Amino acid sequence: MKKWVAVFLALVIVGVIFSGTLAEIKERGKLIVGTEPTFPPFEYVNENNEIVGFDIDIAQKIADELGVELEILNLPFDSLIPALISDKIDLIVAGMTITEERAKVIDFSIPYFNANQAIVVRDGEPFMPQTLGDLKGKKVAVQLGTTGDLVVSDISGVTITRFQKFTDAFLELQNKRVDAVVLDEAVANAYVKTFPKFIVAAVIDTGEKYGIGVKKGNEELLEFVNTVISNMFKSPYDLLVEKWFEETK
Amino acid sequence: MEAISVVFENLPFLLMGALDTLKLTSFSVLIGLVLGTLIGMGRLSKIKVINVPSTVYVEFLRGTPLLVQISIVYFGLPQLGIQLQAYPAAIVALGLNSGAYIAEIVRAGIQSIPKGQYEAARSLGLTHWQTMRYIILPQAFKNILPALGNEFITLTKDSSLASVIGVTELMRRGQFVITRTFQTFSIYFGIALIYFLMTFTISRLVRYVEKRMAVA
């Protein structure tokens, strides 16, 4: 029994993490990024049990620039902001749309991806919504806490069912308990490609953008992330010009 | 039959999660047993400072959802300066929770032993603790074994709630496979089967111990 208690205490002690200012992250030697790896192609778990995707490569780039290891902490999407606030993670890189509500509790980096919402329906059926307004009086499934959830919640007269996983929302669509699923365009396209029985009826230009979440007040880290992102937008040529003509004082 | 082969292809990946589920449950059961035995005895104590907190503990942990308790341990405690990683946080929450249920089982077990036994032991000169340790608890344990087995099975299934704080146990791993393969139904079915195999094994083991104890 004593041994088990010791093992458990060791687990608890190892479990202690310290919150992440830039200096602390460097001292710790790793950047802890939270994401929900059930969102291909942005983040998902591949056959080798590795978390991969567009966002992961971006997180890796930030870790590289910091000169530290990258550690990915997988969490449900609606747990990411609580995890950031309670210092479980340094950054959220999870295809998270910058919204007013979220920006009240966390800070966002400059946008790194332009995303839109797609309305997906069963193929071969008469219901072909072209706008969000067409969903009035219909049943719609969304993923809890996502932008799809937010935009559909703004339409009056829609019955919304919210799921932890977008795949469960599609199961609901397949089982004909809802008329449509609203979710991010890139993810919808990946899904519909695998399952031709669904079709993207319309893409709604919501003008939404993905940002990286940083804890409020952690200005140093936010600035660093912004620099990494804006440098990624520049070509190697741009960076050379900057290095040799603009930064020489 | 892609729907079936997808389960087999991902079986090693899912079984790793099953192993985590078992580890999570074992650690929690250990905590639950220790806590439950102490608090179960506390519930029967005539001393108010022991009895009242024990009762409050049981009522509170039994009366609030486990999902909420897990979230409080993982997301709430950091506000008080206690940082636990997902895995230990899940063990703590599950252990505290099952402690409350086991306490009630232990209390019932102790009460199932005729009072005369306690009185007889005391009149033979054993102290309260000696009576508990050598006379009452061993017999009570035998009586409560089926109820304990039931609690272990419940805990095995409830450990799937740890997926909400990102513990990669069986349920969470299943979700990963679903997002990669989009085979929602067959993966959920496969997970259900693995959970069943685990709980069925536990129920057989408890039955075996029960039989052994009946002989002894």
* Interface residues on A facing B, Cβ-Cβ cutoff 8 A: 1, 4, 8, 11-12, 14-18, 37-40, 44-47, 49, 73-76, 79, 82-83, 86-88, 165, 167-168, 170-171, 191, 194-195
Instruction: Inspect the interface and report whether the beta carbons of B91 and A11 lie closer than 8 Å.
Output: yes
Two tokens, residue A244: 């040799």
**Beta strands per DSSP E along chain A:** 30-35, 38-39, 43-45, 51-52, 69-74, 91-92, 106-108, 113-122, 139-143, 159-163, 180-184, 198-210, 213-215
Test the A interface: residue of B70, B182, B183 with most A CBs within 10 Å: B182
Q: Judge residue A70's burial from the number of C-beta atoms within 10 Å of its C-beta, 0-12 exposed, 13-18 middle, 19 or more buried.
A: middle
For helices B11-44 and A2-14, what crossing angle results, to 10°? Answer: 110
CA distance A83 to chain B (A): 7
Judge whether B180 is closer than 8 Å to chain A, CB to CB.
yes
- Average pLDDT in chain A: 89
- In the sheet where A30-35 sits, what is the strand order? A69-74, A30-35, A91-92, A213-215, A106-108
For A69-98, what is each residue's pLDDT tens digit?
A: 999 999 999 889 999 998 999 999 999 999
The domain spans of chain A are 16-112+211-234, 115-207
> What span, in angstroms and rounded, lies between the C-alpha atoms of A204 and A142?
15
Does pLDDT of A12 surpass 90?
no
CATH number of A115-207: 3.40.190.10
CB contact under 8 A, A49 and B13: yes
Q: Which of B171, B111, B118 is nearest to B147 (CA)?
A: B111
The lowest-confidence range among A14-18, A58-62, B89-93, B193-197 is: A14-18
CB atoms < 10 A from the CB of B189, how many?
14
Q: What is the pLDDT of residues B140-161, one digit of tens each?
A: 999 999 999 999 999 999 999 9
This prediction has a pTM of 0.78
**How much is the mean pLDDT over chain B?**
93
Q: What pLDDT is recorded for position B216?
A: 60
DSSP codes, A107-175: EE-S--EEEEEEEEEETTSS----SGGGGTTSEEEEETTSHHHHHHHTSTT-EEEEESSHHHHHHHHHT
What ipTM does the predicted assembly reach? 0.74
- pLDDT band at residue A10, thresholds of 50, 70 and 90? low
What is chain B's alpha carbon radius of gyration, rounded to the nearest angstrom? 20
Q: How many CB atoms lie within 10 A of CB B206?
A: 18
Considering only residues A147 and A32, tell me which one the structure prediction assigns the higher pLDDT. A32
What is the 8-class DSSP label of residue A178?
S
Q: Is B78 in CB contact (< 8 Å) with chain A?
A: yes
CATH of A16-112+211-234, one of 1.10.579.10, 3.90.1150.10, 3.40.50.970, 3.40.190.10: 3.40.190.10
With an 8 Å Cβ cutoff, are B176 and A37 in contact? yes
Over residues A218-243, the pLDDT tens digits come to: 999 999 999 999 999 999 999 999 88
- The pLDDT value recorded for residue B80 is 86
CA–CA separation, A162 and A144 (whole Å): 5
List, for residues B94-106, the tens digit of each pLDDT value: 999 999 999 999 9
Q: What per-residue confidence (pLDDT) applies to A9?
A: 53
In chain B, the percentage of residues whose pLDDT exceeds 90 is 81
B198-208 confidence digits (pLDDT tens): 999 999 999 99
Cβ atoms of B144 and B110 within 8 Å: the answer is no
Give pLDDT, residue A16: 44
Task: Please provide residue A215's backbone torsions phi and psi, each rounded to the nearest 5 degrees.
Answer: -60, 140
Same fold, A16-112+211-234 and A115-207: yes
On the question of pLDDT at A192 being above 80, the answer is: yes
Residue B210: CB atoms within 10 Å: 13
Query: CB within 8 A of B179, min separation 6: which ones?
Result: A37, A38, A39, A40, A44, A45, A165, A167
- Quick one: pLDDT at residue A78? 87
Mean pLDDT of B123-127: 93
Q: What is the pLDDT of residues B34-88, one digit of tens each?
A: 999 999 999 999 999 999 999 999 999 999 999 999 999 998 888 888 889 899 9
Q: Go through the domains of chain B in sequence order and give each one's CATH number.
A: 2-215 (1.10.3720.10)
Using CA coordinates, name the residue in chain A closest to B85.
A15
